[in-house]
Amino acid sequence: MCDVTYVATWGGFAYVAFVTDVYSRRIVGWNVAATLKAEILPMQALDMAAWDAGDDLTGLTHHSDHGSNYMAMVYTDRIVELGAVPSTGTVGDSFDNAMAEAVNNLYKTELIRQRSPWRTVEQVEVATLEWVWWWNNSRLHGELDMRTPIEVEQAYYSDLESANPAPAGQGPR
C-alpha cells in the first residue's frame, strides 16, 4: 500500500512517498524528493520495495489512491513489470487507502510536527530515514499486538520454517 504526503520547508516542499507492507506494517520503500513526478518520487520508493523483495513482486497487489503520479503509465508499467497487480479503490469503500493515510498521519505526528521548522529537503530526507528505521525496528504497533514490524516478519518466517523443516542432511551446518 502506498501514498504521498508533503512537508513544508524553508526552500519549498519536500514530497514523501511510502510503500508499506500490509501484513507486517513494515515500510519497505520510501523516498523524499522536491518533485511529485512519477518517475522520481513514487518510482524510487517502489524500486526500493522491489529491491527488498528481490525484484519480484509476483502475486502481490500494489494498492494506491488515484493520484496522478500513481496512475502515470511509467509507474503502472513498472508495477506490472515487477509482477504485481495494480489496484486502486474509491474513497469510502473497503478498498480505500486508509492504512497508507494512517502511516502518513503518524509520520507527521511523530516526526514532522515534533521537529519543525524544516530548512531543506535533505534535512527531511535524513530525518525520514531515521524515522523509518525506528518505525520498522523499535516502534510498537497496536495492530500488531504491540510488536514491531520486524518482529512480526521474523515470527512469520520462523513459523514457516517450523512447518517446512529441511530434509535430512540439508539443515544448517
Q: What pLDDT does residue 110 have?
A: 98
- How much is the pTM? 0.89
Q: Is there a contact between 20 and 26 (Cβ–Cβ < 8 Å)? A: yes
C-alpha cell at 16: 514523501
What average pLDDT does this structure show over 109-131? 98
Top-confidence residue, 118 or 69: 118
Residue 6 DSSP SS3:
strand
Region 67-86: what's the mean pLDDT?
93
Domains and CATH numbers, the chain: 2-163 (3.30.420.10)
Mean predicted confidence (pLDDT) in 129-143: 97
In this structure, which long-range contacts are made by residues 17-20, counting pairs with CB atoms below 8 Å and at least 24 apart in sequence? 17/41, 17/42, 17/44, 17/45, 18/45, 18/100, 18/103, 18/104, 18/107, 19/45, 19/46, 19/48, 19/49, 20/99, 20/100, 20/103
| pLDDT 10s digits, 144-157 | 999 999 999 999 99
